[in-house]
Amino acid sequence: MAPQAGVTAKPVRRTGRTLAAGIALSILAGGLAGAVTGNWGDDTPPAATAQLPQASAPSAAGGGGPSIASAAESVLPGVVSVRAGRATGSGFAIDSEGHVVTNAHVVEGAREVSIVLSNGRTLDTEIIGVDADNDLAVLQVSGNASSSGLRSLPLGRSAELKVGDPVLAVGSPLGLEGTVTAGIVSAVNRQARFGDSGARQTAIQTDAAINPGNSGGPLVNAAGQVVGVNTAIATLGSSSRSGNIGIGFAIPVDRMTTIVRGLID
C-alpha cells in the first residue's frame, strides 16, 4: 500500500491552505508568537512544576460504563467560550489554579482575552504562554477561579485511544456556547500540518461535528476525560466557512500536557 500523504491544516476562521484533491483543512478561529517569560534571579527559588495528572479510562466491566449523556454533563462546567477581540473560540480548565487551555490562533494578536463559563459568568484572563508552532496557548483566570464555578477537567491518555472509540467535541461552534457533538475516533495517527511551523504532526481524526468556534475546545472520551484539543477541520473548497464535513482533527492530550507544563512553568 502506498504511504499516506500528510494533510495540511489551517485556521478555520481567518486563513486557509489548500489540500490535494480540492480539500482544504481549516483551523477553527485566529497564533500569537512567543512564550511565557519568568523573572529569574540567583536568589529566586524555581517555580513548582505544573501538575497535570493523566488517568486511564475506566474499563466497562460487565458491558456497563459511563454514558455519553453523563460524560457531557460532567464536562460542560469545565468548558469555556474564549473571546479575544473580534475572534472567538473555545477552551477548557485544566487545574484548580485557573489555567485554561485553548488554541494559539484563537488569541493571536489579542490584547484582552475573556472567557464565558457554562453558568454565564464572564471572567478576565491573562495569556501566560503560547506555543504557536503547536497551536496551543494557556490563559489564567484573574482572581479566584475556584469560586467562579469553573471546574477543571480530568485528562485522559490519547495513547490509549483506538479507532472506533466514542468521543465528544465540546465548545462554542458559531458562537453557540455549550454545544456537544458526538462521534468516534476515525484515526489515531493522522499526519497533519498546523501551527506556525507547518511541520507535520500526529493528530487524532474524528467525525464528531467540529465547526468554526470549536477551536481550543476539548475532545473527550466516554468517561469525560480530555483526550485532545480540537484544532482543525477539513472542508471542501477554499472557503474557511464551509463548515463540518465529518473530518476533524485534535492535538493529542499526551502532547498537550508536555507543552502546557512548559508554558506554565
Cα separation, 234 vs 193, whole angstroms: 12
DSSP-derived letter for residue 258 is: H
DSSP-derived letter for residue 212 is: T
CA distances from 84 to 92, 111, 148 (A): 15, 8, 20
Instruction: Decide if 135 is catalytic.
Output: yes
Q: What percent of the chain has pLDDT over 70?
A: 76
- The domain segmentation of the chain, as residue ranges, is 69-264
Over its C-alpha atoms, the chain yields an Rg (Å, rounded) of: 17
Question: What pLDDT does 192 receive?
Answer: 87
Q: What percent of the chain has pLDDT over 90?
A: 62
Question: What pLDDT does 54 receive?
Answer: 77
- Average pLDDT of the segment spanning 128-155: 92
Question: What pLDDT does 195 receive?
Answer: 76
Instruction: Decide if 124 is catalytic.
Output: no
Catalytic residue among 131, 135, 207, 254: 135
Cα separation, 193 vs 22, whole angstroms: 16
Catalytic residue among 118, 172, 186, 215: 215
All three cell numbers of 135: 497551536
Instruction: Decide if 215 is catalytic.
Output: yes
**pLDDT tens-digit readout, 14-64:** 333 323 333 455 655 433 222 322 232 333 444 556 777 777 776 554 455
Question: What pLDDT does 99 receive?
Answer: 97
pLDDT exceeds cutoff 50 at 259: yes
Spell out the CATH class of 69-264: mainly beta
Q: Are 208 and 248 in contact (CB under 8 A)?
A: yes
Q: Are 220 and 77 in contact (CB under 8 A)?
A: no
Catalytic residue among 26, 99, 105, 207: 105
